[in-house]
């Protein structure tokens, strides 16, 4: 599982994932992700455009991350998931809870309102 993060303007943390978000991939990144979403009022965008597979454990990681951020006044958004990943997110109902954006510019604009 690939993991890359950068800090964008306005304190937005941008995390790009790549590969399969299955048991192995999730185990590989969960502690790293937790470290990057720490703090109060943190806004995080997770780019799923390179994620090829999303298993239930990956869904749990996304939900746990969103809840953790929200409990500290933060927000999570998802950027550009592949069609297969978007279908899984839709089936789980996460599309109604976590905003999903097609472009980074759109996400940044909406999240800095």
pTM above 0.75, yes or no: yes
Residues 6+ apart with CB under 8 A from 89: 54, 59, 78, 81, 95, 98, 100
- Percentage, residues of the chain above pLDDT 70: 100
Full residue range of the structural domain in which residue 47 is found: 2-111
**CATH number, domain containing residue 8:** 3.30.750.24
Buried b / exposed e across 2-34, counting CB within 10 Å, b at 16+?
A: eeebeeeeeebbbbbbbbbbbeebbeebbeebe
Into how many domains does the chain fold? 1
Mean predicted lDDT score pLDDT of the chain: 95
Give residue 95's pLDDT band: very low, low, confident or very high (50, 70, 90). Answer: confident
- What pLDDT, in 10s, does the model give residues 37-68? 999 999 999 999 999 999 999 999 999 999 99
Tell me if 41 sits within 8 A of 72, measured CB to CB.
yes
- What pLDDT, in 10s, does the model give residues 83-94? 999 999 999 999
């Amino acid at each position: 599982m690939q993991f890359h993060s950068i800090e964008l303007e306005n304190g937005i943390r941008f995390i790009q994932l790549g590969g399969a978000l299955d048991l192995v991939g999730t185990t590989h990144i969960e502690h790293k992700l937790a470290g990057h979403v720490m703090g109060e009022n943190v806004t995080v965008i997770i780019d799923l455009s390179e994620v090829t597979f999303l298993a239930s454990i990956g869904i749990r990681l996304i939900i746990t991350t969103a809840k953790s951020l929200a409990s500290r006044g933060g927000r999570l958004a998802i950027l550009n998931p592949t069609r297969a990943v978007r279908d899984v997110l839709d089936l789980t109902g996460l599309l109604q809870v976590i905003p999903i954006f097609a472009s980074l510019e759109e996400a940044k604009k909406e999240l800095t309102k």
